[in-house]
Amino acid sequence: MQNFEDSPLRIGAYEFHSRLIVGTGKYPSMDAMQAAHAASGAEMVTVAIRRVNLGEKGGSLLDYIDRSKMTILPNTAGCFNAREAVATAQLARELLETDLIKLEVIGDTQTLHPDTRETLLAAEQLVADGFTVLPYIGDDPVACVQLEALGCAAVMPLAAPIGSGLGICNPYTIRIIKERAGVPVIVDAGVGTASDAAVAMELGVDALLMNTGIAAAQNPVAMAEAMALATRAGRLAFLSGRMEKRLYANASSPMQGLIGAPSA
């Protein structure tokens, strides 16, 4: 059913055909996660970095990710300052043999909004250290432009708080960010259902990153497919250039030749 050929999503030196990036958190089981990943068609997947529990045995999350199909995007989730985020990114690079990093520096534990100053500081250091940096950031056009100027490969504004599923709370700021940024804009956080994904893509953003919207659905596999379809539908609608909105009706059928009308 893929008739229209879209251009690939380019992030730094990487190229993707799917515009949906998925997570690995909160799935009811590893089986459900793997099936949802397959249904999503995603080519990039996020993971977190944490201390090994000493004395605990267990399989690795990486055993459940097919790295021949999925690029791993490690995150710095849980970091509250630039120093922690840079240290986490460096460990992630050694662990996963990738220069990709989703930079996440949290400034508030309840809203999980980012700390903009620490995110900018960390971004500067990580870019200098050779990372391909994808920062999670507020829906702040100024911060996004500053991150791009520092050399980030994309900017990832939130559309609503992480894990909230509230949808695209401020379409205006997301649109402005897309207008201003020269690097890909990826909506990270807030998408709760398929229509949210379509709305975000119709605004013209380049991709979506979502975890809870899929993982916390009653049926994550079906929702993963729904998100894949909605992401593509929204993208196609954006590229199509929608019709203008009008206040009044405008008939689709001709007003001439109606039966019972006096002949002209």
Partner 1 sequence: MKVEINGEKRELPAAAEATLAEVLAVLEIEARGVAIACNDRVVRRSEYARHRIAEGDRIEIVRAVAGG
Which residue in the set 11, 49, 70, 82 belongs to the binding site for partner 1 (CB under 8 A)?
Answer: 49
109 CB burial (10 A radius; 0-12, 13-18, 19+): exposed
Q: How many residues bind partner 1 (CB under 8 A)?
A: 39
Kindly name the residue from 57, 69, 102, 178 that is annotated as catalytic.
102
Region of 56-64, 166-174, 227-235, 252-260 interacting with partner 1 (CB under 8 A): 56-64
For 227, phi then psi, to 5°, come to -65, -40
Query: Shortest approach of partner 1 to residue 196 CB, angstroms?
Result: 15
**Is position 204 an interface residue for partner 1 (rule: CB under 8 A)?**
no
Q: Choose among 77, 127, 82: nearest CA to 102.
A: 77
What's the rounded Cα separation, in Å, for the pair 37 and 23?
A: 9
Query: Shortest approach of partner 1 to residue 56 CB, angstroms?
Result: 10
What's the rounded Cα separation, in Å, for the pair 203 and 224?
A: 21
At position 66, the amino acid (one-letter code) is D
**Is position 47 an interface residue for partner 1 (rule: CB under 8 A)?**
yes
**Is position 62 an interface residue for partner 1 (rule: CB under 8 A)?**
yes
Q: Within positions 132 to 171, which residues make up the interface with partner 1, using CB under 8 A?
A: 162-163
**Is position 74 an interface residue for partner 1 (rule: CB under 8 A)?**
yes
Active site residue 102: yes
**Is position 87 an interface residue for partner 1 (rule: CB under 8 A)?**
yes
227 touches 40 (CB < 8 A): yes
Report the length, in residues, of the chain: 264
Task: Tell whether the torsion through CA atoms of 14, 19, 25 and 29 is positive or negative.
Answer: negative
Q: CA angle 46-49-53, nearest 5°?
A: 135
Q: Which is nearer to partner 1, 18 or 24 (CB)?
A: 24
Q: Which is nearer to partner 1, 146 or 164 (CB)?
A: 164
What's the rounded Cα separation, in Å, for the pair 119 and 184?
A: 18
Query: Shortest approach of partner 1 to residue 80 CB, angstroms?
Result: 16
Which residue in the set 6, 8, 17, 26 belongs to the binding site for partner 1 (CB under 8 A)?
Answer: 26
Neighbouring residues of 91: CB distance < 8 A, sequence distance ≥ 6: 49
Q: Which is nearer to partner 1, 135 or 141 (CB)?
A: 135
159 touches 168 (CB < 8 A): yes
DSSP assigned state of 149: H
**Is position 127 an interface residue for partner 1 (rule: CB under 8 A)?**
no
**Is position 128 an interface residue for partner 1 (rule: CB under 8 A)?**
no
Which residue in the set 40, 75, 116, 132 belongs to the binding site for partner 1 (CB under 8 A)?
Answer: 75
Catalytic residues: 102
List interacting residues with partner 1 (CB under 8 A): 23-27, 33, 46-52, 54-55, 57, 60-62, 72, 74-75, 77, 87-88, 90-96, 162-163, 209-212, 215
